[in-house]
Amino acid sequence: MASILLVGPGAIGATLAAWLCQDDRHRVVVAARTPFESLEASTPSGVIRAKPQLITDPAQARPVDWILACTKTYDSDSAASWFPKATGPSTRLAVIQNGVEHVQRFERHFDRARIVPVMIDLPADRLAPGRTIQRGPAQLVVPEGKNGAEFLALFAHANFDARQTDDFTSAVWKKLCLNCAGAPCAVLLEPIGISHHDGVAELMRTLVRECIAVARAEGATLADGVADDIVAGARRAPKDAGNSMLADRRAGRPMEIDARNGVIVRLGGKHGIAAPMNALMVAMLEAAQEV
């Protein structure tokens, strides 16, 4: 039995909260910015429903075993406003976001030794507050160790592909290769079918190659073929499939520009590796965001 405060019930958070509630040994509280009555997640295993306790004010939080931070990366500091009341001496924080800086984003708010970074691959969309659709299987990857193992145990009933790795660095950078290649869709306001244009495909490969170069400097092991694999995967996907930066831009929300492309430029600079195409994507998306 675990007490859990899930912060950020969007596409990922509401889907995970619905799954957690299916194990009635867990006591799940959802910390929301936008309230809702109940959760309903349409998943590959069927529709799952739940009615966890919902709180909307950080003052309502109580100490829990686990805090799960599921906001967008740019809302990390506001997610941390829930921590003071929710944190006891042994509370652990799972950071379930994209990017490669899960720990860095939260270490000024939480004891670094009790932060569990989580690589999540779970295609999900938010249909309305508390309503989500999970479009495919879920994969969770965490660093090897007691904290990672105990985090994965929270989802033991969910039949996710959940595993520990002794090379978390490579796992998150491989996911970043995929995410950085999504930028042209957000720039062009086009779904993934645009990858059938040879010039766009080459741009995606270049974005990924820049990411691979920085990833290797950061200690990741990635094959050269990742760039071609990502373009081939994009071309196999339904042509109208989007990505979350495209969805955010279309909805007029902020985008995870820094976590998905800016980080490649920033960390590349640290190692003397230029990432000009990622810098171009950052400039164009930041300009689009300001319009």
Ligand X SMILES: NC(=O)c1ccc[n+]([C@@H]2O[C@H](COP(=O)([O-])OP(=O)(O)OC[C@H]3O[C@@H](n4cnc5c(N)ncnc54)[C@H](OP(=O)(O)O)[C@@H]3O)[C@@H](O)[C@H]2O)c1
Known catalytic residues are 175
Q: How far is the CB of 253 from ligand X (least distance, A)?
A: 7
Are 38 and 50 a contacting pair, CB within 8 Å?
A: yes
β-bridge partners, 114: none
Please pick, from the candidates 2, 22, 23, 33, the single residue that binds ligand X as defined by CB under 6 A: 33
**Percent of the chain as helix, strand, coil, to the nearest 5:** 50, 20, 30
Nearer to ligand X, 9 or 262 (CB): 9
Nearer to ligand X, 98 or 278 (CB): 98
Binding segment for ligand X (CB under 6 A), chosen from 44-52, 64-72, 215-223, 265-273, is: 64-72
Nearer to ligand X, 8 or 52 (CB): 8
- Tell me the residue number closest to ligand X, measured at CB: 10
Are 42 and 14 a contacting pair, CB within 8 Å?
A: no
Please pick, from the candidates 22, 85, 107, 123, the single residue that binds ligand X as defined by CB under 6 A: 123
Are 76 and 106 a contacting pair, CB within 8 Å?
A: yes
Specify the amino acid at residue 274.
A
Q: Which of 138, 32, 152, 160 is nearest to 92 (CA)?
A: 152
Binding string to ligand X for residues 164 to 203, with x set by CB under 6 A, is what?
Answer: ----------------------------------------
3-state secondary structure of 163: strand
Residue 224, class by beta-carbon neighbours within 10 Å (0-12 exposed, 13-18 middle, 19+ buried)?
exposed
**Distances 21 to 26, 97, 206 between C-alpha atoms, Å:** 7, 20, 42
Judged by CB under 6 A, does residue 31 bind ligand X?
yes
Judged by CB under 6 A, does residue 134 bind ligand X?
no
Binding string to ligand X for residues 1 to 30, with x set by CB under 6 A, is what?
Answer: ------xxxxxxx-----------------
Q: Which of 142, 136, 219 is nearest to 173 (CA)?
A: 219
Binding string to ligand X for residues 72 to 91, with x set by CB under 6 A, is what?
Answer: xx-x--xx-x----------
Nearer to ligand X, 42 or 71 (CB): 71
Nearer to ligand X, 134 or 147 (CB): 134
Q: Return d(Cα 33, Cα 277) in angstroms, integer.
A: 35
Using CB under 6 A, list all residues that contact ligand X: 7-13, 31-34, 70-73, 75, 78-79, 81, 97-98, 120, 122-124, 126, 129, 244, 256
